[in-house]
Structure 1
Amino acid sequence: MKFKLVTLLLLTVSVCFAQEDLKEREKQAAFDPAYSSYSRKKPAYVTLKDGTKMEADIKDVDRKKGQINEIKFISKEGKKIRVKAEEITDLYMAPSGLEKLSQQSNFLNDATKWGKSDASKYLSKGYTMYTNEMVSLKNKKKEAEFLMQVVNPKFSQHIQVFSDPWAKQTASIGVGGMKLAGGIAKSYYVKKGDEKVVWVTKKDFDEYFVSLFMDNDKFKAKYADKKFKWSLFGVYVLDYTEFMMEDSGMSK
């Protein structure tokens, strides 16, 4: 009887630690909030496809189905500039009235390991990252170029996850008083490597899981016998990124 009680206690403690580890992992892998606003007080930083780099204030943002297809800027000289999404490579702009989480794990603050080195200075200041993508909205519309918000900018080397501004929401969760997108939105746009961007929903997640993650032996060994959970999408992307970097010898 005593042996069974000790075994039960050890098992309970083990489960509690595992749950705490998962919570910490979920915090590390939380996707950035999906922003629909922008700051009129901070300049945006833009790289055009011809290599030109701009620093300018945003006057207006035009969207189609929630995705950016054109931006109107005001240059430092006061000149109005109208730029279509198809002319832009990437964009960094500050959200209005909101700030990035000020305290995240150092695990993700290592921009040289997790993010583009040329983007680290913008991301560290709370800017949001957008990249030019050719996409079929909801996998139904004719493909077109949009500027799409990358919600996993610091671990997006192999799989980029973009916000779906029109995504339906599940119950919200938060850290430090701020609502997080990870585990809340019911759909995202996802791009693996050089493959096409696809619209992935909570409902059809199982259909994409194998093609997104199961080409890595370490990931397969960890998750092959487990049920896939939409709420752990960010954790899967982070784990996959880690394993791929370990395999390529890039991890520290």
Structure 2
Amino acid sequence: MKVKVVSLLLFMTGVMTFAQEDLKEREQQAAFDPAYTSYSRKKPAYVTLKDGTKIEGHIKDVDRKKGQIHRLKIIEDGKKKVEIQATDIADLYMAPSGLEQLDKQANFFNDATKWGKTDATKHLSKGYTMYTNQMVSLKNKKKPTEYLMQVVNPKYSQVIQVYSDPFAKQTASIGVGSLKLAGGIAKSYYVKKGEEIVWLTKSNLDEHFDRLFMDSEDFKSKYEGEKFKWSLLGVYILDYTEFALDAQMGEAK
């Protein structure tokens, strides 16, 4: 009898170990990009205006309000400096200062059948940071204003987009793979699903969780009965995105 109990305990320990390893790998896949406040003056930036005009040049200056970009000064090759308001920009790709090549995340990000390939692919694969124009109420309190906001989940932002909060408080310092997140995980982000963007914090996650995730039967089935954790926000969004894209592919067949 004791042998059977010991064997069962060993089996359960093995299952838990594999589950923990799977979750750890999943967390690495879903890790948000670090929030950057600096930019490279040596590498070109790529701007697309709302009217479709594309501009390539070197950033001369970035003006911010409340930590978010509201104006750029850029020098096009062979041309004079141009000042562009965030309200005129659709998206921006620029390299962080001291850009280092980060380890590539899971191969599924390169699966064109699931994630699709966009113009962003070539920039993101070189370590560039992605910004998009958003009308946002800062901290859910301020008058909605247009800013260029950094997308921190660019590789799986098809359904839910996550934007950095430059003034977010941090949890304890951690590392994900070879990427060290100085200061730890942010305690707040701006999260957009559909047309609604909210300031999502560790303390108000429960308030917004149902709207963000619980319209997916697959998601509910996977996490039924579990206590939701802020540290797994990226994993929840990645899972939800995969479920949504799989459903879309199924409907298209």
Scaled by the length of structure 1, the TM-score of the pair is 0.94
Give the Cα–Cα distance (whole angstroms) in 2 for the partners of residues 143 and 240 of structure 1.
Answer: 27
User: In the alignment, is the contact (CA less than 8 A) between 1:56 and 1:75 conserved in 2?
Assistant: yes
* 1:191-202 mapped onto 2 (5 Å cutoff): 191-193=192-194, 195-202=195-202
Residue 179 of structure 1 aligns to a residue whose secondary structure is: strand
CA distance in structure 2 between the aligned counterparts of 1:175 and 1:19, rounded to whole angstroms: 15
Q: 2:208: which partner in 1?
A: 208
Q: Which amino acid aligns with 1:150?
A: V
Structure 1 match to 2:25? 24
Q: Which residue of 2 aligns with 1:169?
A: 170
| Equivalent in the alignment of 2:190 | 189
Q: Gaps spanning 5+ residues in structure 2: where?
A: none
Shift of 1:116: 5.2
Q: What CA distance in whole angstroms lies between the structure 2 residues aligned with 1:42 and 1:88?
A: 19
- CA deviations over 1:180-232 (Å, ceiling 9, x no partner): 48970000000002x22110000111111110000010001111211010000
Residue 150 of structure 1, CA deviation:
0.4
- On the 8 A contact 2:28/2:177 being kept in 1, the answer is no
Give the Cα–Cα distance (whole angstroms) in 2 for the partners of residues 113 and 100 of structure 1: 25
Contact 2:165 2:189 in 1 (8 A): yes
Is 2:71 the counterpart of 1:70?
yes
Matched, 1:99 2:100: yes
CA distance in 2, matches of 1:187, 1:23: 22
- Residue equivalent to 1:238: 238
Residue pair 1:46, 1:55 contacting (<8 A) in 2 also: yes
Secondary structure of the residue that 2:48 maps to in structure 1?
strand
Q: Residue type of the partner of 1:207?
A: E
Unpaired segments ≥5 residues, structure 1: none
Q: Give the 3 Å change call, closer, same or farther, for CA 100–229 of structure 1 in structure 2.
A: farther
CA distance in 2, matches of 1:181, 1:243: 31
- 1:115 deviation in Å? 5.8
Relative to structure 1, the CA distance from residue 115 to residue 134 in structure 2 (aligned partners, 3 Å threshold; closer, same or farther) is: farther
SS at match of 1:228: coil
In the TM superposition, residue 176 of structure 1 has moved relative to its aligned partner by 4.5
Residues 30 and 126 of structure 1: CA distance in aligned 2, closer, same or farther (over 3 Å)? same
- Of structures 1 and 2, the one scoring higher in RCO (CA 8 A, sep 6+) is 1
Per-residue deviation, residues 25-68 of structure 1 (Å, max 9, x unmatched): 00000001111100000010000011100101100001111100
Q: TM-score, normalised by structure 2?
A: 0.94
Superposed, 1:25-104 pairs within 5 Å as: 25-104=26-105
Whether the aligned pair in 2 keeps the contact of 1:32 and 1:182 (CA below 8 Å) is no
| Structure 1 residue ranges, 4+ long, deviating more than 6 angstroms after superposition | none
Q: Percent identity?
A: 69
Take 1:214 and 1:126, find their aligned partners in 2: how far apart are those partners? 33
Change (3 A) 1:92 1:176: same
For residue 117 of structure 1, report the CA deviation from its aligned partner.
1.0
Instruction: Supply the RMSD in Å over aligned alpha carbons.
Output: 1.8
Q: CA deviation at 1:111?
A: 5.8
CA contact (8 A) 2:171 2:183 kept: no
Give me the whole-angstrom Cα distance separating, in 2, the residues matched to 1:160 and 1:65.
Answer: 20
**Distance (Å, rounded) in 1 between the aligned partners of 2:156 and 2:184:** 16
- 1-structure distance, mates of 2:160, 2:9: 40
Indicate yes or no: 2:148 matched with 1:147: yes
Task: Specify the code of the residue in structure 2 equivalent to 1:197.
Answer: I
- In 1, distance between residues paired with 2:98 and 2:113? 28
